[in-house]
Amino acid sequence: MWTSDRNRWDQVARDDPPGHALHVAAAMAWCFLQAIANTPEAIAWGVLLCISLFRLGRTAALYGPILRDPVWLLFVGWWLWSLATLLWSVDGVDVARQLRPERALLTPLLLWPVAHLAWPLLAALAAGAAVQTVAVLIWSLWPLASGDPVRTYAAMRGLMSFNQMGWYLQIAAVVPLAALASGSGRSRAALLPIPLAAAIAILLSGMRSVIANLVAGLLVLTTRPRRPGTLARAAIAVVFFGIALLSVHWLAPQAITRATAGAGRVISWISASHGEGSPTRSEILSMASDRVGLLVAASDMIRGEPGNGPVAAPLVGNGRGSFPPLLSEWIEREERSDPEFAALAARLRDNRHPHNLYALAWLEGGLPQLGLASLAIWALAVRLWKGARADPALAAMAAIYAAVLVSTFVGIVETKAPGAIVALAIVFSRIPAEPPRA
């Protein structure tokens, strides 16, 4: 981490109190509105951009550390290489769609002049997530008033931006827990209902990937390197998660059934793959989840095996945005070779991402993009983990970022919510340490 003191930030704040106050308010508004709705969040981001540009004359001296930051430069390099691959993209790629601005790279620069206020920004982020948590719980549990069953993910899918809700429920769960672990006094116990409610909402959804995010965040908080007490924190986390699990089992046992159904499906898939009777390729795939089917498709495209996909360009990739058109070609070939593949094909057809960052990076950008993406994602994780030893705010950020790491394997991290998390993680990982207290 950057070891200089915070005098520069303090001096800029003293030289321009109104501008500093507006900048802090805009940054906190942007963090809060992440979980509320897309349009207000976009407006807040625009206001933050305008204030940052207006104050640039006063804040320019602060930018040296982040502009030279190797992790931020890795993310920039990843994006630039991805854009360069548009020069050799396959036919069918919507180039105009791919030239969208990468806000995850610009946002750290907008937040940098107020980056030393980590806890206020995290609090605003968690507050917005808490609002979303309350909305999810009310919507899910309201049918109980009339004796109907609790609504779970199958019904929630119709809600606006529910695919993004999981990220915010994760934030509402882990940020208050990090504050509880680092604070002192009995008043901090007032925060406990927030993470407990978020954990219940996550379990009610029955979304396996979001549950995995929550578990990863709890592991970060309970095992982060610092003073002794890991076993005690782990025991508290187990009790906390157990209460949430029992609550959901009482409210909606079908949510737990759905969340654990994936294990049986995986066992059936592995058994069929190695059992007698030689099941067809489509029969084996049909037993797995859609994400496994997408990963198999991406793997076939990368290998370019005869009959399984186009001859890929593993060194430089097939170009940004090439996965959707290549997936359509792959599905057509699979359907021609095996009519039983039709059911799985219908579910996979509209996907624009294989739900695996590394497979997409290799397929579209070749080995350079795979290397840049992997280095950027994990170098930031290592820095957050090391910083978590002494800084509770970085421990909270690391717990949030754990969801990004999980989603690199089974989700999509090139979207709004993960982009905001990456931007905040880059900023907070570079802030100078707090001066020692007398």
- Does residue 383 sit within a domain? no
Query: What's the domain count of the chain?
Result: 1
- Whether 165 is in a domain gets the answer yes
The whole-number pLDDT of residue 320 equals: 92
pLDDT for 51 equals 97
Judge whether residue 262 has pLDDT over 70: no
Q: What is the rounded distance in angstroms from the CA atom of residue 266 to the CA atom of residue 289?
A: 8
How many percent of the chain have pLDDT more than 90? 34
Is residue 322, in this structure, part of any structural domain at all? Answer: no
Q: What is the extent of the structural domain holding 18?
A: 7-62+102-255+388-429
In a domain, 380, yes or no: no
Average pLDDT value for the chain:
81
Of 300, 200, 312, give the one whose Cα is nearest residue 256. Answer: 200
Task: Over range 124-139, report the average pLDDT.
Answer: 90
Instruction: Report the distance separating Cα 76 and Cα 97, nearest Å.
Output: 19
Kindly state the average pLDDT of the residues 148-154.
Answer: 73
The tokens describing 1, both together, are 């981490």
Tens digit of each residue's pLDDT (9 = 90 or more) over 385-438: 998 888 889 999 999 999 999 999 988 888 888 999 999 999 999 876 554 443
Instruction: Calculate mean pLDDT across residues 56-70.
Output: 91
Q: Counting runs of H as helices and runs of E as strands, what totals does the chain give?
A: 22, 0
Residue 38 has pLDDT above 70, yes or no: yes
pLDDT of the residue at 275: 54
Centre a 10 Å sphere on the Cβ of residue 25 and count the other Cβ atoms it contains: 16
- Nearest partner of 325 among 290, 291, 351, judged by Cα: 351
Is the model's pLDDT at 359 over the cut of 90? yes
For residue 236, is it within any domain?
Answer: yes
pLDDT band (50, 70, 90) for residue 73: very high
What pLDDT is attached to residue 363? 92
Q: With respect to residue 118, please indicate whether it lies within any of the assigned structural domains.
A: yes
Dist. CA 430–CA 356, nearest whole Å: 28
Tell me what pLDDT residue 136 has. 84
Q: What is the 8-class DSSP label of residue 318?
A: S
Categorize the per-residue pLDDT at 305 as very low, low, confident or very high, splitting at 50, 70 and 90. low
Give just the sign of the alpha carbon dihedral 313, 314, 317, 322.
positive
Provide the whole-model pTM.
0.87
Cα(43)–Cα(209) distance, integer angstroms = 30
Position 142 in a domain: yes
Q: What is the pLDDT of residue 265?
A: 56
Confidence of residue 8 (pLDDT cuts 50, 70, 90): confident
Q: How many other β-carbons are positioned within 10 Å of the β-carbon of residue 75?
A: 24
pLDDT attached to residue 158: 47
Tell me the residue type at 80: L
Confidence at residue 27, expressed as pLDDT on a 0 to 100 scale: 97
Q: Is residue 316 part of a domain?
A: no
Least confident of 43-57, 269-283, 345-359, 413-427: 269-283
